[in-house]
Amino acid sequence: MSSADPAAPGRRTSGSPASGGRAPGSPASGRPASSRPASGRPASGGPAASADHPAPAAAPVLAAHGLHHSFGTTRVLRGVDVTVAAGEVVGLVGPNGSGKTTALRILHRALTPDAGQVRLEGRDLRGFTSRQRARRIAVMAQELTGEVPLSVADVVLLGRVPHAGPFGSTTDADLSIATDALDSAGARHLARREFGRLSGGERQRVLIARALAQQPRVLLMDEPTNHLDIGSQHHVLQIVRERGLATVVVLHDLNLAARYCDRVLLLDGGIVQADGPPREALAPELVSATYGVATERATAEDGTTQFLFRGRPVSRRVS
């Protein structure tokens, strides 16, 4: 890839704990349209009405079943299923150490599970070459590799590498795609800056642009909003929704998960405690038991869900 500057040209619940409600992976847009905000960011940044988002196809693009994994003697995942369909945004939530990142890493083969299988487009993920995987799955990991002495434009163009021809040269199409990705992520003005000198939030936007430039079918994101200001958090998740990709996103902010995800998977102790529409998977009693904090759920004037955490400890579930 050249260092051309793209800026120049341009468990299942249906809310109940692990009880077998909807099958994991079933389309999640069962979330009532009325529960979605009519619009977003305060006036335009939330998810669009579900009518704007085609219902996810029944067949998942990416499906993991029966994942078990341990690090040494620590059992981290204990029979986890994760599925995501085209156009579906699945939120992976749960307390620190519950296994979210581990599950996400298994979904793109950065980690091989002790047991369980992952299928991409209906085929065993192990049958894909790394290049074939990279053409289909983009990952925005937690780590910010800030020491890389590359410009922002170069970092975003790295997203095009899996699509490059035999000589790896950057085409006009690559530049146009990278520019579009930078625009979408609100980072075009950063194109000529050195990546390693950006702020945490700026880097986050650039890494999102790189993932978009990859033009994947599946987007895996590990806490993509953790360095972003409130407005930017909404902006980024709105972008994610608009792209219509099969997306699995690790989030700590339950208000964001409720607002932007079609389906939420609540992990605790390596077990899926709930997998369903946010209204069900994030029922206050489930949230309280999972996080050990008194939780109330309110509905704001614009119809969005707002969690209130009282800070008062309550007994946690023992997984």
Ligand X SMILES: Nc1ncnc2c1ncn2[C@@H]1O[C@H](COP(=O)(O)OP(=O)(O)OP(=O)(O)O)[C@@H](O)[C@H]1O
Q: Which residues bind ligand X (CB under 6 A)?
A: 71, 74, 76, 94, 96-102
Residue 259 CB coordination number (10 Å): 25
> Measured between alpha carbons, how far is 19 from 159 in angstroms, rounded to an integer?
40
CB of 252 to ligand X, least distance (A): 7
Phi, psi at 212, each rounded to 5°:
-65, -40
CB of 59 to ligand X, least distance (A): 27
Please identify, using beta-carbon distances, which residue of 102 and 184 lies nearer to ligand X. 102
CB of 302 to ligand X, least distance (A): 29
Please identify, using beta-carbon distances, which residue of 152 and 265 lies nearer to ligand X. 265
Q: Using N-to-C axis directions, what is the helix angle for 200-213 and 230-243, rounded to 10°?
A: 0
Element (H, E) at 288: helix 284-291
How big is the CA angle at 247 (ends 241 and 253), to the nearest 5 degrees?
75
Q: Which amino acid is at 7?
A: A
CB of 139 to ligand X, least distance (A): 14
- 47: tokens are 């998810």
Please identify, using beta-carbon distances, which residue of 157 and 266 lies nearer to ligand X. 266
Please identify, using beta-carbon distances, which residue of 102 and 288 lies nearer to ligand X. 102
Please identify, using beta-carbon distances, which residue of 154 and 253 lies nearer to ligand X. 253
CB of 72 to ligand X, least distance (A): 6
> Measured between alpha carbons, how far is 271 from 102 in angstroms, rounded to an integer?
12
